[in-house]
């Protein structure tokens, strides 16, 4: 089984625990890692847990210290610092959500979404989630889809651009029932920006070209 699909069970555990937090359970990333230490092998999943705990606690009015998070997760200190720095920079720029957007229904693994079979989640944020999916009408090929509350303008802007550093858009659709805009893109790998930065700058002699990206892509295509 390839690396993308082997991670499905771990992602399901993380998604399930985060969903419980959103339903009122106490957010505690350290508790999840203690219960499922195998998650520590996937840095992106650890950061998903940390980010969700941080944002949920700050949204609830808790006095949350960044240094406290660094001490709780020393192995991921640098990545968490980058993550929380970006979070603090974006929080004031998020558009307000109306009642329809708050009720957006996110798809789950195994569900159909506008002709795409959801395989597994790849990433999530407050306003969007990214999934590995199969596009049934095009030979069942693997693609990446982004389901977003504010995806229409993004798709329109990106569709006008053509550059090797910008992932092209296959299509964009609107799911009014779920309250989501769905953007379909080619699967180029599952590494996040944090993964690439860690790979580029953690070594004594970090690569300075596309080697770091191609290295992450190897073995990640289904």
pLDDT tens digit string along 63-81? 888 888 888 888 888 888 8
Domain count across the chain = 2
% the chain with pLDDT above 70: 70
In a domain, 155, yes or no: yes
Q: How far is CA 208 from the centre of its chain?
A: 25
The last residue of one of the domains, among 32, 58, 93, is 93
Domain for residue 164, yes or no? yes
Strand partners, 174: 181
Domain that holds residue 145: 99-186
- For residue 128, give the CATH number of its domain: 3.30.200.20
> Quick one: 68 and 140 in the same domain?
no
110-157 pLDDT, tens per residue? 899 999 999 988 877 667 888 999 999 998 999 999 998 766 677 777
Dist CA 205 CA 207 (whole Å): 7
What torsion do the CA atoms of 58, 61, 65, 70 make, to the nearest 10 degrees? -30
Same domain, 105 and 74: no
Lowest pLDDT segment from 112-126, 154-168, 196-210: 196-210
The answer as to whether 212 is a domain residue is no
My answer on whether 29 and 111 are in the same domain is no
Of the two residues 204 and 109, the one the predictor is more confident about is 109
Quick one: pLDDT band at residue 191, thresholds 50, 70, 90? low
What pLDDT score does 167 carry? Answer: 82
Strands of 112-113's sheet, edge to edge?
112-113, 116-124, 128-135, 141-148, 180-186, 171-175
């Amino acid at each position: 089984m390839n690396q993308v699909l082997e991670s499905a069970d771990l992602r399901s555990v993380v998604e399930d625990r985060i969903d419980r937090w959103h339903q009122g359970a106490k957010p505690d990333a350290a508790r999840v890692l203690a219960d499922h230490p195998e998650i520590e092998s996937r840095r992106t999943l650890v950061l998903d847990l940390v980010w969700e705990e941080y944002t949920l606690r700050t949204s609830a009015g808790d006095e949350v210290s960044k240094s406290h998070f660094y001490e709780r997760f020393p192995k991921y200190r640098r990545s968490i610092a980058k993550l929380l720095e970006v979070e603090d920079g974006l929080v004031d720029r998020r558009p307000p959500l109306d009642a329809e957007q708050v009720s957006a229904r996110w798809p789950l693994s195994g569900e159909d979404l506008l002709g795409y079979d959801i395989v597994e989640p790849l990433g999530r944020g407050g306003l969007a989630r990214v999934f590995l999916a199969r596009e049934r009408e095009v030979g069942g090929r693997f693609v990446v889809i982004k389901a977003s509350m504010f995806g229409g303008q993004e798709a329109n802007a990106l569709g006008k651009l053509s550059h090797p550093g910008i992932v092209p858009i296959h299509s964009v659709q609107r799911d009014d029932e779920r309250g989501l805009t769905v953007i379909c893109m080619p699967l180029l790998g599952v590494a996040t920006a944090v993964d690439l930065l860690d790979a580029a700058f953690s070594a004594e002699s970090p690569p300075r070209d596309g080697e770091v990206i191609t290295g992450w892509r190897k073995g990640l295509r289904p």
